């Protein structure tokens, strides 16, 4: 194509791509977005910090401005860019002395002394690893995410890191996708609640504080919809699903004050996110009023060429900057081509100034102009006792008891002997899971193994360990020794699942069974006839129908972090009564994917008694374990559902929903009361259920409490295919219970 016809060649900067999406949406971009609690484009008045930004911007040359748009990922490249005066930030360089040395060059040897921002993937821990985010979602307690973020921020900032590339809030229905481990599961409401808690935990009230960092909401947007669960893959999504499923956590994070946003690798209805002016410019910066800056993902701007949106690096820069990407990570298309593109009128000076202004504003808010250096004596190189205690408590709070026949669990502390079997029974760093910060490798504190956790929990018992097999191998030669250990013990704890490398970025799996011969190992232990329980260590839902049918008890421990062995033992021996719930459905088989609770109905819903309905011939309908499922060592009853009224005004209305939850068993324990809504008749077909409230409560044996939720029009409304938020009159069904299969129901009318 000619130069004039290339993407981004318009002087208006990216308008051609936005119009493509606007046309698909029926004029979304021109109509403007409306919705609940819409953020203002900018606060009234201009605070002192903004005036300082404008004053500095006015002193900068074009070259200095372009330099602020560059982010690099190694020390050598950083020094070279600083020598040329063209660098805004550095990531993945750790060590207070190294960071201070780079900062001195920026502050003391460049003309304007603009400090660098230092970033790192602090996802679920810096030196102290907490459970992976998916596990945290299973706690159904946003304070868990807040604790992780606050501890992590303190460790990172005292070590010279200003900025973390978290939280990841990509909602997904795809368990094959490795990055499901980094998010909070399949529900946008749950993900939004946790995203807000994580942002506030990282940033506090003022992220210039010496124990806070700037957060980054990622990946914007719809990355969790990757086709086939294959990382970086295409996402084709309707406007209503984009706004109802994928965008809510990002909107909530912007309202919570998140400092930065990262663009996603995927296309969105044919337009890559890094060149997608509709989602970045119109939605994020326009409708949501986001004032921070957007950073590309690793070489994301360069990848516009391979996507087919850009013909070369200049095209890529001309697409990304007008679309709304402010800072370029690793690739250097802004640095190489921005001046030329400006001369050719393919980008504008206002677009450059806007990007620089946003970056400078975050640097001022971080306090970098006042305190550019970190005290090297404060650098955190190992977890503190308080941080370890927090990690242990959080890890136990995240575990989900999937099954407990008998009940087998909790195990008695008077047990005489325990055999620990399975390839992950003595695992260390695999318990950290993906994105372990500085918590993996030489010189770091290895996680507590399950074997050591059990030995500490029952010091009077004889505890043995036999791996039986490797995590993903085919050798069954160790089965005989594992069976011998099981026969010699009072009870066997079989620890199976995935290694850390089996989930996370670029870790999609085409099948999500137990890897290797681990299922056969469980079968071999069952053959002994001795009591056993299964502990799962994994970063995603697994297809485990065999375990469901054959294991007496299954504890989902996820990747539990640095205190994982202690936390698992705490739950196995009843020191902690598990109260977690699944934040994502567990499919029966990979061929059933996607299977998720908040699906839309069909004209022929599944009916096992009728052939011509939506189902599989060879599988029961629905997941193996539904969203919100989780057992306890005690039992609970939820009843007494009450609504404060029978109608909800569409403007400004409120309805209180309350129910009584009672601990009907003999142990103290936690229950998560969950509220779901259904709109059975709407102009856009609605999910069969939508989570709109949850509360985790702790109750003594025999005790009761009332749990209440407030519903407003925001809870019953939805976005249509012109991206407008609608609250329609009609009946709304309410379901309250302990999982997405809740049966206690009532209804009200929206008027």
C-alpha distances (whole Å) from 648 to each of 44, 246, 420, 691, 747 are 33, 27, 56, 18, 11
Radius of gyration of the chain (CA): 26
Catalytic residue of the set 297, 326, 430, 570 = 297
Do the bridges between strand 532-537 and strand 553-556 make them parallel or antiparallel, or are there none, so unpaired? Answer: parallel
How many residues in the chain? 751
Alpha carbon 384 to its chain's center: 25
Distance CA 329, CA 88 (A): 10
Instruction: Locate all alpha helices (DSSP H) within 442-512, ordered by sequence.
Output: 450-457, 479-488
Contact 120, 165 (CB under 8 A): yes
* Cβ count within 10 A of residue 728: 17
Rounded to whole angstroms, what are the CA distances from 288 to 120, 204, 255, 721?
A: 26, 21, 8, 18
Cα-based distances in Å from 496 to 390, 452, 515, 516, 535: 25, 16, 9, 10, 6
Give catalytic status of residue 297 as yes or no.
yes
Three-class SS state of 19? helix
Residue with tokens 């539904």: 626
Which of 634, 660, 625, 664 has the alpha carbon at shortest distance from 737? 660
Containing H/E element for 636? Answer: strand 636-643
Transcribe 194-251 into DSSP letters.
HHHHHHHHHHTT-TTSTT--B-EEEEETTGGG-GGG-TT------HHHIIIIISHHHH
CA distance 272 to 294: 15
Determine contact, residues 119/71, Cβ cutoff 8 Å: yes
Give how far Cα 548 sits from Cα of 70, 181, 568, 580, Å. 51, 22, 20, 18
Catalytic positions, please?
297
């Amino acid at each position: 194509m000619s130069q004039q016809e290339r993407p981004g060649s318009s002087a208006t900067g990216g308008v051609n791509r936005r119009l493509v999406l606007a046309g698909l949406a029926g004029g979304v971009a021109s109509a403007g977005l409306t919705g609940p609690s819409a953020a203002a484009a900018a606060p009234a008045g201009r605070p002192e910090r903004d005036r300082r930004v404008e004053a500095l911007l006015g002193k900068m040359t074009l070259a200095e401005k372009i330099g602020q748009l560059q982010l690099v990922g190694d020390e050598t490249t950083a020094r070279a860019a600083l020598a040329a005066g063209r660098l805004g930030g550095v990531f993945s360089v750790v060590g207070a002395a190294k960071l201070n040395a780079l900062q001195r060059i920026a502050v003391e040897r460049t003309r304007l002394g603009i400090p660098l921002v230092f970033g790192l993937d602090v996802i679920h821990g810096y030196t102290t690893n907490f459970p992976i985010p998916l596990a945290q979602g299973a706690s159904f307690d946003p304070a868990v995410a807040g604790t992780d973020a606050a501890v992590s921020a303190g460790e990172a900032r005292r070590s010279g890191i200003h900025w973390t590339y978290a939280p990841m809030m990509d909602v997904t229905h795809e368990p094959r996708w490795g990055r499901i481990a980094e998010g909070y599961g399949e529900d946008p409401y749950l993900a939004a609640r946790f995203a807000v808690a994580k942002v506030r935990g990282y940033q506090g009230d003022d992220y210039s504080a010496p124990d806070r960092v700037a957060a980054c909401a990622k990946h914007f947007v719809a990355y969790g919809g990757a086709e086939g669960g294959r990382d970086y893959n295409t996402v084709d999504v309707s406007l209503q699903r984009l706004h109802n499923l994928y965008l809510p956590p990002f909107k909530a994070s912007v309202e919570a004050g998140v400092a930065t946003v990262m663009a996603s690798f995927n296309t969105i209805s044919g337009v890559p996110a890094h060149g997608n002016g509709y989602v970045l410019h119109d939605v994020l910066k326009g409708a949501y009023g986001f004032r921070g800056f957007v950073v590309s993902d690793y070489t994301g701007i360069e990848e516009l060429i391979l996507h087919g949106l850009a013909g070369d690096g200049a095209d890529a820069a001309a697409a990304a900057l007008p679309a709304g990407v402010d800072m370029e990570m690793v690739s250097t298309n802004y640095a190489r081509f921005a001046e030329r593109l400006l001369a050719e009128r393919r980008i504008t000076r206002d677009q450059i100034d806007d990007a620089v202004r946003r970056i400078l504003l975050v640097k001022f808010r971080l306090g970098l102009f006042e305190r550019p250096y970190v005290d090297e004596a404060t650098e955190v190189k190992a977890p503190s006792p308080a941080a370890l205690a927090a990690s242990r408590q959080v890890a136990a709070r995240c575990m989900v008891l999937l099954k407990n026949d008998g009940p087998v669990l909790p195990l008695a502390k008077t047990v005489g002997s325990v055999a620990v079997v399975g390839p992950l029974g003595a695992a260390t760093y695999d318990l950290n899971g993906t994105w372990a910060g500085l918590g993996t490798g030489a010189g770091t504190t290895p996680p507590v193994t399950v074997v050591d956790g059990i030995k500490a929990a029952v010091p009077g018992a004889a505890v043995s360990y036999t791996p039986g097999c490797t995590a993903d191998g085919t050798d069954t030669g160790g089965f005989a020794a594992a069976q011998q250990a099981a026969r010699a013990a009072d009870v066997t704890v079989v620890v199976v699942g995935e290694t850390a490398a089996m989930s996370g970025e670029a870790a999609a799996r085409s099948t999500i069974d137990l890897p290797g011969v681990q299922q056969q190992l469980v079968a071999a232990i069952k053959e002994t006839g001795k009591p056993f329980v299964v502990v799962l260590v994994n970063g995603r839902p697994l297809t485990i129908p065999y375990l469901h049918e054959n294991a007496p008890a299954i504890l989902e421990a996820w990747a539990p972090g640095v205190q994982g062995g202690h936390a698992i033992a705490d739950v196995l021996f009843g020191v902690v009564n598990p109260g977690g719930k699944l934040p994502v459905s567990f499919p029966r088989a990979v061929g059933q994917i996607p299977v998720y609770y908040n699906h839309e109905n069909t004209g022929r819903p599944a009916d096992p008694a009728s052939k011509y309905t939506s189902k599989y011939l060879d599988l029961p309908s629905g997941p193996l374990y539904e969203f919100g499922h989780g057992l306890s060592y005690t039992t609970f009853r939820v009843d007494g559902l009450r609504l404060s009224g029978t109608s909800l005004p569409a403007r400004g209305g409120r309805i209180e929903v309350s129910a009584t939850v009672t601990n009907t068993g003999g142990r103290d324990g936690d229950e998560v009361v969950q509220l779901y809504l259904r709109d059975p008749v709407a102009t856009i077909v609605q999910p069969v259920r939508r989570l709109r409230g949850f509360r985790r409560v702790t109750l003594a044996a025999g005790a009761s409490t009332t749990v209440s939720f407030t519903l407003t029009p925001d809870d019953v409304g939805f976005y249509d295919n012109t991206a407008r938020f609608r609250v329609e009159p009609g009946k709304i069904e309410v379901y309250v219970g302990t999982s997405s299969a809740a049966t206690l129901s009532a209804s009200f009318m929206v008027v």
